[in-house]
A = this chain, B = another copy of it.
Amino acid sequence: MSEIIQIINARLVEGDSLISRSLWVDSVAGIFVYSPDPALVVSTIDLQGRILSPGFIDLQINGAYGFDFSEDASEDAGGISYQDRYSETRRKLIKTGTTSFLPTMTSQHAERYHQNLPFLGPSKSRNPFEGTESLGAHCEGPFFAHNRMGVHLPEAIQSSGPSSEPELVIKTYGASNLFNETISPPTNPQEQLEIPGTIPSHVRMITMAPERPGALTTITQLSNKGIVMSIGHMAATYPEAAAGIKAGAKMITHLYNQMNPHHHREPGPLGIISGATDIKPDNETKILQGPEEGDSISHRPARPYFGIIADGHHVHPASIRLAHLTHPEGLVLVTDALMLLGGEDGTVDWLTRRLTKKGIKVMLEGTDIIAGSCVTIPQCINNFRKWTGGSIPGVLQAVTSRPASILGMENVKGSLRDGADADFVVISEEDVAGQSVSELVIDQVWKFGVKVFDRGLE
């Protein structure tokens, strides 16, 4: 049986525009409906001109509120199980407007993946009160360049060795965490690994360095099986990064951070957001992906999506503008948040290491090595708007429709379309003294057609 809620006087985020029209939510099925039976409408909500956006999707978040997705899932902490700590974190996080995420594991040994990933896979439940929904885990590492590991565990990265052959990668994460069918290793090791199964299991996204031996084969094989491959924590040159995109990677993990800087004659990974080609400076032009050979570069250059950490610390605002202006349709805001999100300034234990938080900065204790952030998606949105001057709907695409497209879920998530999951946020604009750009504030969060957060009621 359906129960329809009509929402009136909302400004809906549709593409680049804010459109004033009504919207109907089926709060039992948890989806948007466009032509409901009027007899089923049980209530009407007047949003008084506020903005209604699809719920936010965070493709890269390592933890929050004192919990880290990579911590030992076999141990209780303070008498509370990993499962319960994870659930509690999700229920807190959804209040920031992040209705879906990819819980992200930093570089770990194989055992930790085998232990934790089954908890972090896609949430099966459509219970709106379970907090932020997992769309699958993001494995960030351990197949990284050894000089671009950031604060990831060096032992985990070093023990992954120099290679990223498919067999090793699958063994590290565990085949059943990757695919819904088990695989049998080839009897002849020279033989190309045949991976059965087409539906990803617990893992939805993997970040790896494309220049390691075997990485391109792995990127091709896993992306063909539906896992989103992203290149990052890499020492890749421009052609090596471009080869990763050609092989099937869709994205660059936190552009600028943990990769070669741009040089005008060796543009590095930044260069490929302008179009990944194997242009040689001495005039030979050939497009790697997209257009047929012979097409002009302007037709369909291969330009990857890229994550940006807009916390005001990882990347300078002018560099964010540069990337945004170069490839506006590619930019995705991610928090890269750690357990210190929502915490106080100070130093805390974090896995086998210690982190110091000071304002927006999180560093490895006693060093100036930047760790992940402690910001929320709304903070990233507000920073990004202030720094780029983008329109509200334009900015919101970077946390809604665009991450959904990367995951191939554009009909279900990050959208207000008929039949999509009714995950959405109600946003007020508030003026801030001395600031020309308004701040967006999350008033309400709805999950599967049910209101789960209301600022006025907290």
Find residues 380-396 in chain A having any chain B CB closer than 8 Å to their own CB.
Answer: 383, 386-390
Cβ-based interface call for A282 (8 A): yes
Q: Are B270 and A386 in contact (CB under 8 A)?
A: no
A390-B296 Cα distance, complex, nearest whole Å: 9
> Residue A326 at the B interface, CB < 8 A?
yes
Question: Please, which residues of chain B bring their CB within 8 A of the CB of A298?
Answer: 388-390
Q: Which B residues touch A271, using CB under 8 A?
A: 316, 318-319, 321-322
Interface string of A240-270 (1 = CB under 8 A from B): 0000000000000000110001111111001
Task: Give the Cβ gap from A320 to chain B, nearest Cβ, in Å.
Answer: 9
Q: Please name all residues of chain B whose beta carbon is closer than 8 Å to the beta carbon of A264 when the two chains form the complex.
A: 256-257, 261, 314-316, 319
> Is the CB of A312 closer than 8 A to any CB of chain B?
yes
- Specify which chain B residues have a CB less than 8 angstroms from the CB of A390 in the assembled complex: 298
Q: Are A316 and B283 in contact (CB under 8 A)?
A: no
User: Using Cβ atoms and an 8 Å threshold, which residues of chain B touch A262?
Assistant: 261-262, 270, 319, 322
Give the nearest-CB partner of A315 in chain B: B264
- Answer whether A270 and B437 are a contact pair too, CB < 8 Å, given A316-B264, A388-B297: no
Q: Which residues, 285 to 299 on A, are CB-close (under 8 Å) to B?
A: 285, 294-299
Contact A318 B386 (CB under 8 A): no
Q: How far apart sit A273 and B281, CA to CA, in the bound complex (Å)?
A: 23
Our pick among B261, B312, B314 for the contact of A282 (Cβ within 8 Å) is B312
Q: How far is the CA of A325 from the CA of B330 in the complex (A)?
A: 13
Quick one: closest B residue to A282, CB to CB? B312
Whether a CB of chain B sits under 8 angstroms from the CB of A275 is yes
List residues of chain B with CB within 8 A of the CB of A299. Answer: 389
Do A318 and B436 form a contact, CB below 8 Å, given A261-B262, A298-B390, A389-B299? Answer: no
Bound CA span A321–B238, Å: 13
Looking at the assembled complex, report how far the CB atom of A140 sits from the nearest CB atom of chain B, in whole angstroms.
Answer: 19
Question: Which residues of A from 317 to 344 have beta carbons under 8 Å from B?
Answer: 317-319, 321-322, 325-327
A359: chain B residues at CB < 8 Å are 282
A277 contacts chain B at the CB level, 8 A cutoff: yes
A199 at interface (Cβ–Cβ under 8 A)? no
Q: Complex Cα distance A388/B314, Å? A: 30
A126 close to B (CB within 8 Å): no
- Cβ B279 vs Cβ A238 within 8 A: no
Contact A317 B386 (CB under 8 A): no
Q: Check if A40 is an interface residue, CB within 8 A of chain B.
A: no
Contact B285 A386 (CB under 8 A): yes
Q: A257-B264, A262-B262, A325-B326 are in contact. Are A318 and B387 (CB under 8 A)?
A: no
B267:A319 contact, CB within 8 angstroms: yes
Query: Contact: A275 with B386, CB < 8 Å?
Result: no
Q: Do residues B312 and A275 form an inter-chain contact, with CB atoms below 8 A?
A: no
In the assembled complex, which residues on chain B have CB atoms less than 8 Å from the CB atom of A275? 318, 321
Q: Which B residues are CB-close (under 8 A) to A274?
A: 318, 321-322, 325
In the bound complex, CA of A360 to CA of B262 (Å)? 23
**A281 with B388: CB separation less than 8 A:** no
Given A386-B285, A388-B298, does the pair A267, B318 have CB atoms closer than 8 Å? yes
Nearest 8 CB-CB pairings of A with B? A298-B389, A271-B318, A256-B264, A274-B321, A297-B389, A267-B318, A325-B326, A264-B319
Q: A265-B314, A279-B387 are in contact. List 7 more A-B contacts (CB 8 A).
A: A256-B264, A262-B270, A264-B314, A266-B316, A282-B312, A283-B312, A285-B317
Residues of A within 8 A of B (CB): 238, 256-257, 261-267, 270-275, 277, 279, 281-283, 285, 294-299, 301, 312-319, 321-322, 325-327, 359-360, 383, 386-390, 435-437
15 contacts between A and B (CB under 8 A): A265-B314, A265-B316, A266-B316, A271-B316, A271-B321, A273-B322, A274-B318, A274-B322, A275-B318, A285-B386, A285-B437, A297-B389, A297-B437, A301-B389, A326-B326
